[in-house]
Amino acid sequence: MSRKHFGTDGIRGRVGHDKVTPEFVLKLGWAAGRVLGGGSNKVKVVIGKDTRISGYMFESALEAGLSAAGVDVLLTGPMPTPGIAYLTRTFHACAGIVISASHNPYFDNGIKFFSAQGNKLADEVELAIEAMIDQPMETVDSEYLGKADRIDDAQGRYIEFCKSSISQETNFQGLKIVVDCAHGATYQIAPKVLSELGAEVISIGVKPNGININDNVGSTHPRQLQQRVIEEKADLGMALDGDGDRVFMVDHEGTLIDGDEILFIIARARKQQEQLKGHVVGTLMSNLGLELALKREGIELERTDVGDRFVMERLLKNDWILGGESSGHIICRSKTTTGDGTIAGLQVIAEVVRSGRTLHDLSADMEKCPQQLINVSLGSANAVDIMQLAAVQEAVSDAEELLGAEGRVLLRPSGTEPLIRVMVEGVDAAQVNRVSEQIADVVRDSLHT
């Protein structure tokens, strides 16, 4: 069955439009409550959010819908997405709900779900919720209405969980770390985690006002972090996104360390400590340099479609423990059940401590191949239609022939934004840039024909 409302990562869009309205979210909460269990068989759902101003509105709408279905609600306030996955498990809730649009601007928002096990909902559950949305909304009798309560120590619980992801003998004393929280859900949590582990911490992006989330800060805008690391003469920097499930890092020279390099550092450390199980999972967007560097370490890389959902599916299918995306979604299954920027960053810093090497030196052991990614805005156009146009397909075919065996071309619609992503990879940087611009131009021209 095709999905009507859910995308690859829940429901997301511009606030006040399409499905991102209080009316729809109210009905969504009710439908989820009906599917997950309500009435006399009382269950509970954990709800968290990032720092967007619209989070207040959608939190109330979800709470009302779930209550109408007879489901109790536990509210956390601002909490990273992976924190909700953790709290859902520890409170034995039937589901967790996150109100966030991740790395998107403040005027977007979204709803995503976790199962009782802290994983994304199974397809059949999402489809059942979609089917229930189309049914008339009926409120349970008053004696069965759901109640709402707040988890007062939610942040403290998650902070301790993050700290427990590295060995008790490891501490960060002597390290100066700059952390950029994107004015998002980690703004109180990540600095405390690092400082309680012994680091000297300089924090930026920790003054949310409802509309500055991801605004020239965080993993999507790391320039400020790079400059601050150099200014402070820090050992390294860590940049999280608005909901805390992505991480980029910065070495002491201000060089950006992306998800591929982070994945390599963690994978090699696990291999050296005989803690790596099976293969490492990346995506079609993972840099060729990652594959080659892992192979030198005796580690195989398997690729999936783009999206942490697909990475997790492959890990679960094979019972492997490590995977991730270039964008900074890193899944350490031996530590947690979902992508977690803070926990992934801690694994890298722990390896800096264990190895006695700088982050710069650790990342230098993976040489990235030149890769260019261009996002082409779709506007009101249909991504599928654009991808099927003969001119676009011909441009891709010509590029693949030009690059030969030493390059890759990937054209795909974004799963979260109205964009076509054009990715070209090869050994010649100038050629890669030229070819990617040529394909992007063809896509843009096709939007106006």
Catalogue the active-site residues.
102
Tokens of 97: 């709900």
Tokens of 10: 């829940």
> Are the C-beta atoms of 156 and 43 separated by less than 8 Å?
no
CA neighbor of 76 nearest in space, from 61, 55, 94, 54: 55
* 157, amino acid identity: R
Quickly list DSSP for 292-349: HHHHHTT--EEEESSSHHHHHHHHHHHT--EEE-TTSBEEETTT-SS--HHHHHHHHH
Q: Tell me the C-alpha distance between 232 and 238, whole Å.
A: 14
Q: Tell me the C-alpha distance between 370 and 425, whole Å.
A: 6
Q: How is the chain split among helix, strand and coil, in percent rounded to 5? A: 40, 20, 40
Pairing of strands 236-240, 176-180: parallel
Among all chains, which residue has been given the structure tokens 């195989």? Answer: 300
Q: Tell me the C-alpha distance between 159 and 155, whole Å.
A: 6
Tokens of 367: 């040489």
Per the DSSP assignment, residues forming a β-bridge with 411 are 422
CA neighbor of 112 nearest in space, from 241, 7, 237, 2: 7
- Beta strand ranges found along 93-199 (DSSP E): 95-99, 108-115, 148-150, 176-180
**Number of other residues whose CB lies within 10 A of the CB of residue 165:** 18
277 to 64, 118, 311, 313: CA distances (angstroms):
44, 21, 15, 16
Among all chains, which residue has been given the structure tokens 């800060």? Answer: 217
Tokens of 420: 């076509």
146 to 64, 89, 375: CA distances (angstroms):
9, 20, 44
Helix axes of 154-163 and 81-90: crossing angle, nearest 10 degrees = 100
Pairing of strands 11-14, 108-115: antiparallel
Q: Tell me the C-alpha distance between 27 and 333, whole Å.
A: 33
> Are the C-beta atoms of 229 and 328 separated by less than 8 Å?
no
> Are the C-beta atoms of 231 and 309 separated by less than 8 Å?
no
